[in-house]
Structure 1
Amino acid sequence: MLELLSPAGSPEAVTAAVQNGADAVYMGFGDLNARRRAKNFTEKEFSDAVEYCRVRGVKTYLTLNTLLTDRELPEAAELIRKAVRIGVDAVLVQDLGVVRLVRQVAPQLPVHASTQMTLHSLEGVRQAAELGVSRAVLSRELSGEQLAHICRNSPIEIEVFVHGAHCMSYSGQCAMSALIGGRSGNRGLCAQPCRMPYGWQSRADSYPLSLKDMSLIHHLGELDEMGVACVKIEGRMKRPEYVAVVTGIYSKAIREKRPPTRQELERLQAAFSRDGFTDGYFAGKKGPEMFGVRSSGEETQGAFLAEARASYENTENGRVPVRFFALIQPGEPSKAAVEDETGRVCTCEGPAPEAARTKALSEEEVISQLMKTGGTPYVCTQVKALVRENLALSISAVNAMRRGCLEELTRERARPPQRETGEFMPGVRYQNRPAPPLWTCYLRKARQLSPELLALKPERIYLPVSEIALHREELAGLLKDQNIRLVAAMPRILWDSEEEETRKKLEIAREMGVEEALAENLGQLSIIRSCGMEPRGGAGLNVTNAQTLKELRHLGLKSAVLSFELRLAQIRDLSKCIDTELIVYGRLPLMVMENCIIKNRSGRCACDNPNLLTDSTGARFPVLPEAGCRNVLYNSRKLFLADRARDYENLGLWGERLDFTTENSQECLRAARRYRGEGDFMPNEYTRGLYYRGVE
């Protein structure tokens, strides 16, 4: 049966989830999780919540699913040690460096890969499994067909979101909140800019980035059949009443193996929705009908909230099955025992029975009293009682034995499992490279490459593998006799159904002499190697600490692009065990989107035309096509640091990378020359990014 995983942003939400049938809850403890604006828990609240769940047979998962810096890793290590002592069942992680840390600090604690890790392919899941991950939470954008393929072949458990908010961007690939508002979604403080109005002309008069909430309640049977281990409800920022309503409806649908009733669907919408719900990604039906907004005056009614609270406040819905045994015979203390579903047995003794003077105690009476477990976490499923004839024992004595057995069982079930813990060992510190960085450039289109640009001698030229395959003869001519390496850049997202075609393009690049490929996701590493190439790491891998670099070195990567959410001082202090690159010019990607907003706008494919999304301030954000009929939303202002070269040249970097997106070949040339110390090029509008001001 599917495990139902519910959100808990507060202690009250834990109670709401458990009393309404959740099999597991996920919650944050401290500031290192992806919902830092939720109430979260103090250490005592967290400990009490875990014990509360453990007694009732509900698993608890600690959310540690943000990108961390080196200075935060010791705090994370201590947090994990505390969580192990408290007795959590697993930890939910985004950062590859944190995966490495958990293996050191809590080697027996299961690790679940957060959806923030952007796992969306079988190869990505397999690679995560090799790193020690026992469960993968897949991207929400996958279709049912893609999910089934992964489930059939996955070496680890698969978890799928089934209800709650949709991010417009693939989780883990959104920098919009960070770059525009200084609040990082990758660090748990997303300001939800996708819910704001935008437009395609001069006015922001629509909501092209605001997806409806998802609901897969009609597909639970399919998910179960395809082998999904766990279905997850989103909503740690939601109120406990929301958790109660949604958990209760999904729990009944799963256990009773039935579709929801009309009344249940109405209750789901009353709890929270944005113009209803969508299953568009799962059904493979993308388009404008997947979008919606929350009405400004829409509030859940008081009677509805009171009814939801009644399902968990001052209520104990028995859920742990137990069996009772009783033995009452002359001349000996009366005995009772209780056994839970794990085989744990607790016993209790009462007074010795006396000879009956009037009415003898019957087996039926003992069974009736032991069955009365109301108001406790337990539900009695069976009683076996042996009561000798003509004996008297008070009903209160039988009840006392029942209570004593259950109290002892509760104490036993509350004890946390014993797991070993270790110390966090950052390892040897690597000295920064003394030489200034080499320069590399990323081009979106082959037409941006010119002989004049090549004459500036970039160390590497990154070009999408699709462009290499399409323009191989032209590129071969341009690069002939040039001592410049061309690197095949993989798309940010690559589904299993797209792998074969991408392999063919990589093989074409390999035949041209291309020896390296830029990986943007864990799932691309094995594909690159199978084509005889060596992998380098792109910005999609979200590198923010030295432990992640060590994991990437272990995986055989030759270099990695550092996250543009880091400050220059953090980059300087980073211990660099492999070559590192920093993006120092260009439009930074804000979102990687599965739902094509270009087609949603016009009703047809219009990728060749300029597409600019406008916000309420008048800022214009280019929307460019990506492999697989996806979109990438880019920043309205170009990153520009040519006049600040001294600030990043001494950070120990191997490469400074210029990213060219909307520029023509002449604009690429002018920008490159400025970074080489020639000319006076400067964008009309530019930003210094987050390298100076940092991000929350």
Structure 2
Amino acid sequence: MVELLAPAGSKEALIAAIESGANAIYLAGNMFGARAYADNFDEEGMREAIRIAHLRNVLINVTVNTIVDDQELPQLADYLRFLYEAGADAILVQDLGVAKLAREIVPDLPLHASTQMTVHNLDGVLALQKLGFTRVVLSREVSLEAIKHIIDNCDVEIEVFIHGALCVCYSGQCLMSSMIGGRSGNRGRCAQPCRLPYTLVDEHDNDMLKDTAGKYLLSPRDMNAIDLIPQLIDAGVASLKIEGRMKRPEYVGIVVNNYRQVIDSHYAGNFHVTDKTRHDLAQVFNRDFTTAFLEKKQGRNMMSDRRPNNRGIMLGRVMEYDSATGFVTMKLSDSLSVGDQVDFWVKVGGRVTATVKDLHIVKGGKNRNLVPVEQAPSGSVVSFPVESRVFEHDRAFKVYDAPLMEWAKCFYNTGSPVRRVSVDVSVSAAVGEPLVISMIDGDGYKGEGRTDFIGQEAIKRPLSEETIHKQVSRLGTSIFELRNLECHIRGNVMVPVSEINEARRKAVEMLEYQRLSKYERKPIPNNTTALNKAKIKKRVQAGITAVVDTMELLQSALFAGADWVVFGGESYHHDAIIPMQYEKAVYMAHKAGAKIAFNTPRIIRNHELQGFHTWLRTVASYKPDAINVHNIGSLAAVRELTDIPVHADYSLVSYNFKTLQYLVELGVEAVTLSPELTLAQVEKLAKESDMPLSCIVDGNMELMVSEYCATGSFIGGLHTGQCSAPCVNSGKKFFLKDRKDVKFPLVMDQYCHMHVLNGNRLSMLPHAMKFGAMGISQLRIEARYMSADQLKKTIANYKKYMAFDGELSDREKAAAEVLEGDNITRGHYFRGVE
């Protein structure tokens, strides 16, 4: 049977998930989890959570899915040992360094690949399978067809998201929160810039949408795959995952309960989704719903462009508003209760929110009568006070349903379990013997309790089956409930009620112990070498690498004296790069005395793998000096299909020395470090690794790569099934402009992925001389958004400033700043990330 996997950001949510029917729960401790702002669990809370879940045969998967800094690794090692000893059933990881450390510290603890690993095709799944991962959480962008193909061709479990919030960027590839706000999604502190308003403009600042769309152009609807449960189960998905560790426990209980019912209906052979299920899922939280990319690209129909937060259930339109009393009158299209919260979408002034404190049903016509009620059914005309002005015909939405939320509290606040484990109980008692209570549950686990008291001949009231039943059935806050009782009473025996209760307690305690025994872990030796580092590396003579995607940019880079060029991959100009161009690029680079790496696409859809493999075999014959890879699947494919050296790009996040160690083991010969590192962190890593390392020092950094395309969705008619390709055919450049009038360039590659670039160009020109002194081999320029002339000047400037020895004078700094121009950023080299 498929696993229903629920989120828990608090103990209350954990209980709600268990009681509403989850088979497994994912949660985080106070460290290393990708939802750092959830309540999460301290060590004592984690032990208790695992015990509570295991008693019910519910698994606990712990998220350790942030990238980790070197100085955090000793603490992480201790945490991994703790999780193993506490009985966690698996850990989810993003960072390859964390995976390596876990293999060395707790080799028997199952590893799950987090969606933050951006595994989106069969190559990635098979690569992780070979590395010992037991489960892979696929990117949300993978289609149902691709999911089935992956499952049919791998031996690891596949986990798929089915409900909750969606990231607009491929998870694990987003730098937008950290670059513009200093809060890293890769470190669990995403500030959700995708939920902010943006305007789609061209290079002349013309609003391309005006009133034809809302402003929330990066805000997806929530995923709801309730109707696709049969297809997902039949495809062989091992685990169906609900998003929501930041959500309240009522949300968890309602969503899990409804999916539990629908999944069970499928296995019972009568799959159905009730109107109540649809209503409750929408009421508890929705930004409108979508199946995202499971079925097809939905264009603008996937986006919640008018509202980035909960829109609730449509309640009706305002019939009238009495400004003297502040009462609104409306006809309901859904029920309304005292305690509900209503949002009015007013014509002027945005949103008005009101909590219903005084509700009346309107009776009669001219001489209308207001009847006070606690709840009004759909179809009623009602009146209630609203503190702010609303207008006739304004739409109203119920965003908080008080009765529903009150009902949902029963999943976690009753003090007693909702879903219990049935037990069969046998009780024997006789004069001269202790009373014995034996319990056995449906899984075959047994518990037994005996009285210290020896049965005596009864003088007045002998022990009866009725008395035994009354005491034994009092299982209280334990997870058990009495199903069958057999009593074997021999003679007129007397046993005190307190003794019966104590024997019951002992039987329950033993039964709980037996149920938990299967989760016990063997002790593990303490690995004292896992955190050992390589020898210190000294200063190197650094070179310049230029990343280019056209022959013109390639020629400019070589003319300016670049030592390495990274050519090809995803084109910012939406042009297909043909094999002949790769062959010519090698000739040009080697003739200029430079080295060349062929770039690979950052995202390779599953149906594109065959073409990618053919391309690899073809271009390998041109003998480039390296192939540059962006994900674990591409790395494995290059190693398997070619003998060309492999370089790992920054999207294969290298943030600590354990990751660098692992990449060496995987056959990588050079690495571009994460742009979220500070200079101090870079220096430390450079000293700890013998591998050639690169740092990005210039260019418009990619903040997002997305399967969703804003221009295709809102201008190109993508939702109709056919995109008019405005990115190519309009002759325009497009930008997303934020509230502060900062423009983020949009580029669409030849595979129709949208790349959101930073509007401020990264520049480390005044600090160029520092990198070689630290041991960095290559200073990398992201040139795909530059002109050929700009690239020439940029390389020349860096060559000049790399030659400086020591700190610049004030005059030299000022000269460098003039060369840099306006709208530049130092990235994270000095400020770091949260």
Paired residue type of 2:702: P
Say whether the 8 Å CA contact 1:432–1:653 is kept in structure 2.
no
Mapped pair 1:478 → 2:584 = no
Mapped pair 1:217 → 2:226 = yes
Distance 1:287 1:133, change over 3 A: same
Distance 1:394 1:480, change over 3 A: closer
Q: How many equivalent pairs are there?
A: 693
Bigger drift between 61-70 and 424-433 goes to 424-433
Residue number in structure 2 paired with 1:440: 545
DSSP 3-state at the match of 2:727: coil
Bigger drift between 43-52 and 478-487 goes to 478-487
Structure-1 separation of matches of 2:496 and 2:265: 37
Residue number in structure 1 paired with 2:121: 121
Residue number in structure 2 paired with 1:301: 401
Mapped pair 1:558 → 2:633 = no
Mapped pair 1:621 → 2:744 = yes
Which TM-score applies when normalising by structure 1? Answer: 0.93
Residue number in structure 2 paired with 1:695: 833
The one of 544, 567, 572 equivalent to 1:463 is: 567
1:455-474: CA deviation from partner (whole Å, max 9, x where unpaired): 34423211124525262465
The one of 405, 414, 420 equivalent to 2:507 is: 405
When the two chains are superposed, the root-mean-square deviation of aligned CA atoms in Å is 2.7
Say whether the 8 Å CA contact 1:462–1:489 is kept in structure 2.
yes
Paired residue type of 1:606: P
Say whether the 8 Å CA contact 1:84–1:419 is kept in structure 2.
no
Say whether the 8 Å CA contact 1:345–1:409 is kept in structure 2.
yes
Distance 1:372 1:151, change over 3 A: farther
DSSP 3-state at the match of 2:591: coil
1:623-645: CA deviation from partner (whole Å, max 9, x where unpaired): 11235321111111111112221
Say whether the 8 Å CA contact 2:164–2:224 is kept in structure 1.
yes
Structure-2 separation of matches of 1:594 and 1:674: 36
Structure-2 separation of matches of 1:626 and 1:368: 72
Say whether the 8 Å CA contact 1:336–1:349 is kept in structure 2.
yes
1:26-66: CA deviation from partner (whole Å, max 9, x where unpaired): 22212321111112223222222222222222222222110
Residue number in structure 1 paired with 2:303: 291
Alignment map for 1:237-316 (pairs within 5 Å): 237-257=246-266, 258-274=271-287, 276-292=288-304, 293-294=308-309, 295=311, 297=353, 299-314=399-414, 315-316=416-417
Shift of 1:498: 0.4
Say whether the 8 Å CA contact 1:491–1:626 is kept in structure 2.
no
Structure-2 separation of matches of 1:482 and 1:319: 75
Say whether the 8 Å CA contact 1:34–1:64 is kept in structure 2.
yes
Residue number in structure 1 paired with 2:395: none
Alignment map for 1:514-525 (pairs within 5 Å): 514-525=624-635
DSSP 3-state at the match of 1:244: helix
Say whether the 8 Å CA contact 2:586–2:624 is kept in structure 1.
no
Shift of 1:119: 1.1
Mapped pair 1:338 → 2:439 = yes
Shift of 1:128: 1.5
Structure-2 separation of matches of 1:522 and 1:552: 10
Bigger drift between 319-328 and 102-111 goes to 319-328
Bigger drift between 543-552 and 685-694 goes to 685-694
Distance 1:256 1:323, change over 3 A: farther
Distance 1:391 1:545, change over 3 A: same
The one of 319, 328, 346 equivalent to 2:420 is: 319
Residue number in structure 2 paired with 1:232: 241
Shift of 1:412: 4.8
Mapped pair 1:449 → 2:561 = no
Distance 1:286 1:547, change over 3 A: same
Bigger drift between 644-653 and 205-214 goes to 644-653
Shift of 1:454: 1.3
Residue number in structure 1 paired with 2:756: 633
1:341-364: CA deviation from partner (whole Å, max 9, x where unpaired): 554322112466677999998889
Distance 1:669 1:75, change over 3 A: same
Paired residue type of 1:268: L
DSSP 3-state at the match of 1:348: strand
Structure-2 separation of matches of 1:127 and 1:380: 49
Shift of 1:621: 1.1
Shift of 1:340: 3.7
Say whether the 8 Å CA contact 2:547–2:566 is kept in structure 1.
yes
Paired residue type of 2:407: E
Distance 1:24 1:627, change over 3 A: farther
Shift of 1:374: 6.1
Say whether the 8 Å CA contact 2:425–2:484 is kept in structure 1.
yes
Structure-2 separation of matches of 1:479 and 1:83: 51
The one of 401, 405, 417 equivalent to 2:520 is: 417
Structure-1 separation of matches of 2:113 and 2:582: 38
Shift of 1:18: 1.5
Bigger drift between 61-70 and 179-188 goes to 61-70
Residue number in structure 2 paired with 1:377: 479
Alignment map for 1:74-113 (pairs within 5 Å): 74-113=74-113
Residue number in structure 2 paired with 1:576: 689
Structure-2 separation of matches of 1:25 and 1:126: 25
DSSP 3-state at the match of 1:186: helix
1:536-557: CA deviation from partner (whole Å, max 9, x where unpaired): 1011101100000011000000
Bigger drift between 594-603 and 140-149 goes to 594-603
Paired residue type of 2:595: R
Structure-2 separation of matches of 1:401 and 1:115: 48
Say whether the 8 Å CA contact 2:676–2:832 is kept in structure 1.
yes
Shift of 1:682: 2.4
Mapped pair 1:606 → 2:726 = yes
Say whether the 8 Å CA contact 1:468–1:509 is kept in structure 2.
no
Residue number in structure 1 paired with 2:336: none
Paired residue type of 1:651: M
Say whether the 8 Å CA contact 1:50–1:86 is kept in structure 2.
yes
The one of 544, 549, 558 equivalent to 2:660 is: 549
Bigger drift between 543-552 and 147-156 goes to 147-156
Between Structure 1 and Structure 2, whose CA radius of gyration is higher? 2
1:635-677: CA deviation from partner (whole Å, max 9, x where unpaired): 1111111222123232211211111122222222121111111
Mapped pair 1:591 → 2:716 = no
Paired residue type of 1:299: V
Paired residue type of 1:684: D
Mapped pair 1:512 → 2:622 = yes
Structure-1 separation of matches of 2:784 and 2:612: 21
Structure-2 separation of matches of 1:590 and 1:232: 26
